[in-house]
């Protein structure tokens, strides 16, 4: 079974996590040696790194005022304090550490600024610098990351605030994590950051000027069986609602990513085994029904009844009486008492992912029958 090499995983990791988050390697008892390892891991042809001082108290090393500068790319990162717990040097270079905490940092490019209050990295392993670019070396592993107080400050716009980010990596084999859970909580998104498109205006009409959102994604990969288990892909909007998706996709040979045409080959071979989508209402439906009632001089319950009837008429175009009755009843019950709506797809046999995507764009009415979709309300 092919799996991505260490270099490929490092590119993914460094692309997904800001430089400031990965700025902290760790070493043994000598604080200067630890700080120098951090600097060595950060510098390259254009990037420099310096620190003010490094001290140790027992097994805890503290490094102050780390500055990373990359003038050709217009990037500068700073971390006021790095605290490394129980660092142990690796004989060939690099080190391990139980915990690394980065406090009060920022990263600036030519236009944007990213700031954070606190970042905790657990179970860090920094390989020797000479191995960082080797194709067969393991990636830089860490088991957990928790970041708090993030603020993204674009030019001439309100800052985007994220209260907390968490990442947990498990099922690590040869330095590659096969189970990942990531969450972003307390994301404040002012609608002024968006355009004046119709969807944005609809949300404003419902009474929202700022969306407070939580995102999460969790899943695991069974490499021997090329199976991707999507445990949860969720979006929660405070006072609006929560959407969560899960499913099982087989035929996902991630080891082909590095081969020519690899991503296309993976998508072509992927098969949908089952899918679950659930929406839990948090106030969005009540706001929508009130807004529609105000426009039509009706009561919200009358709007709900009318929408249910209209949807039942639409379902007749599917020419599937069983599906028409089952889905129509579920959606009608939800509109009259909007608590939760759940869609479960269990096709008799796996269906090519690209076929599903193509039908959703060209003939969406075929999809419910193809995937054997069942919809329930308020369960």
pLDDT (tens, 9 = 90+) of the chain, 379 residues, equals: 233 333 333 333 333 333 333 334 433 468 999 999 889 888 888 999 999 999 999 899 999 999 999 999 889 999 999 999 999 988 888 888 999 999 999 999 878 899 999 999 999 887 777 666 555 555 556 789 999 999 988 887 778 889 999 999 888 777 678 899 999 999 987 776 656 667 777 777 777 778 889 999 999 999 889 999 999 999 999 888 999 999 999 999 888 877 888 889 999 999 999 999 999 999 989 988 988 898 888 899 999 999 988 888 888 887 788 888 888 899 999 999 999 999 999 999 999 999 999 999 998 888 988 999 999 999 8
Is residue 225 domain-resident? yes
| Shared domain check, 40 and 138 | yes
pLDDT, position 12: 33
- Which of 207, 235, 269 is the last residue before a domain boundary? 269
| Shared domain check, 313 and 179 | no
Is residue 278 domain-resident? no
H helix or E strand, kind and range, residue 307: helix 300-315
Is residue 175 domain-resident? yes
Is residue 171 domain-resident? yes
Query: CB of 308 within 8 A of CB of 353?
Result: no
- Calpha distance 294→291 (Å, rounded): 5
- Calpha distance 146→169 (Å, rounded): 12
pTM: 0.77
| Shared domain check, 229 and 108 | yes
- Calpha distance 377→280 (Å, rounded): 10
Q: Which domain holds residue 129?
A: 6-269
203-231 pLDDT, tens digit each: 777 777 788 899 999 999 998 899 999 99
Is residue 129 domain-resident? yes
pLDDT, position 138: 52
Q: Locate tokens 């000479």: which residue? A: 130
pLDDT, position 204: 78
| Shared domain check, 298 and 225 | no
**How far, CA to CA in Å, does 207 sit from each of 29, 159, 172, 196, 295?**
57, 21, 45, 15, 15
Report CA Rg, the chain. Answer: 25
| Shared domain check, 223 and 327 | no
Q: How many other C-beta atoms are found inside a 10 Å radius of the C-beta of residue 77?
A: 23
Is residue 277 domain-resident? no
| Shared domain check, 299 and 229 | no
pLDDT, position 353: 94
DSSP annotation of 191: G
- Which of 269, 300, 326 is the last residue before a domain boundary? 269
Which CB contacts under 8 angstroms, 24+ apart, belong to 67-70?
68/19, 68/20, 68/23, 68/42, 70/46
Residues 6+ away with beta carbon under 8 Å from 135: 5, 6, 7
pLDDT, position 20: 36
- Calpha distance 169→218 (Å, rounded): 10
Total domains in the chain come to 2
- Calpha distance 116→149 (Å, rounded): 5
- Calpha distance 22→6 (Å, rounded): 16
**DSSP labels for 225-245?**
GTEEEEEEEEEEETTTEEEEE
SS3 256: helix
- Which of 218, 236, 269 is the last residue before a domain boundary? 269
Q: Helices 284-296 and 300-315 sit at what angle, rounded to 10 degrees? A: 100
| Shared domain check, 173 and 201 | yes
- Token couple for 313: 């008429």
Query: CB of 341 within 8 A of CB of 278?
Result: yes
Is residue 141 domain-resident? yes
| Shared domain check, 298 and 256 | no
Query: CB of 332 within 8 A of CB of 303?
Result: no
| Shared domain check, 356 and 242 | no
| Shared domain check, 297 and 208 | no
Which of 216, 225, 214 minimizes the C-alpha distance to 246? 216
Is residue 292 domain-resident? yes
| Shared domain check, 251 and 291 | no
| Shared domain check, 253 and 320 | no
């Amino acid at each position: 079974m092919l799996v991505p090499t260490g270099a490929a995983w490092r590119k993914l990791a460094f692309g997904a996590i800001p430089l400031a988050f990965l700025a902290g390697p760790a070493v043994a008892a000598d604080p200067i040696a630890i700080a120098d390892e951090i600097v060595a891991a950060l510098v390259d042809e254009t990037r420099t790194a310096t620190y003010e001082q490094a001290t140790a108290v027992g097994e805890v090393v503290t490094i102050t005022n780390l500055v990373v500068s990359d003038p050709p790319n217009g990037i500068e990162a700073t971390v006021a304090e790095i605290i490394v717990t129980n660092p142990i040097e690796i004989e060939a270079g690099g080190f391990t550490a139980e915990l690394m905490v980065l406090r009060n940092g920022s990263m600036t490019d030519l236009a944007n600024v990213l700031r954070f209050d606190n970042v905790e990295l657990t179970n860090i392993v920094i390989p020797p610098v000479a191995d960082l670019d080797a194709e067969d070396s393991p990636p830089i592993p860490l088991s957990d990351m928790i970041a708090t107080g993030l603020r993204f400050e674009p030019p001439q716009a309100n800052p985007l605030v994220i209260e907390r980010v968490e990442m947990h990596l498990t099922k690590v084999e040869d330095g590659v994590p096969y189970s990942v859970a990531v969450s972003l909580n307390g994301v404040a998104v002012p609608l002024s950051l968006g355009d004046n498109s119709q969807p944005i205006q609809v949300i404003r009409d419902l009474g929202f000027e700022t969306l407070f959102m939580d995102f999460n994604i969790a899943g695991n990969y069974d490499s021997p069986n090329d199976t991707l288990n999507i445990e949860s892909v969720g979006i929660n909007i405070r006072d609006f609602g929560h959407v969560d998706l899960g499913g099982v996709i087989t035929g996902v040979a991630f080891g082909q990513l590095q081969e020519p045409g690899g991503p296309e080959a993976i998508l072509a071979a992927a098969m949908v085994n089952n899918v679950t989508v659930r929406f839990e209402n948090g106030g969005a439906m009540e706001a929508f029904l009130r807004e529609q009632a105000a426009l039509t001089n009706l009561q919200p319950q009358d709007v709900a009844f009318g929408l249910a009837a209209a949807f039942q008429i639409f379902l007749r175009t599917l020419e599937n009486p069983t599906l028409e009755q089952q889905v129509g009843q579920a959606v009608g019950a939800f509109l009259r008492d909007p608590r939760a709506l759940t869609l479960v797809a269990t096709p008799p046999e796996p269906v090519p992912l690209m076929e599903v995507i193509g039908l959703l764009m060209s003939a969406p009415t075929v999809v419910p029958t193809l995937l054997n979709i069942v919809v329930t309300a308020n369960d």
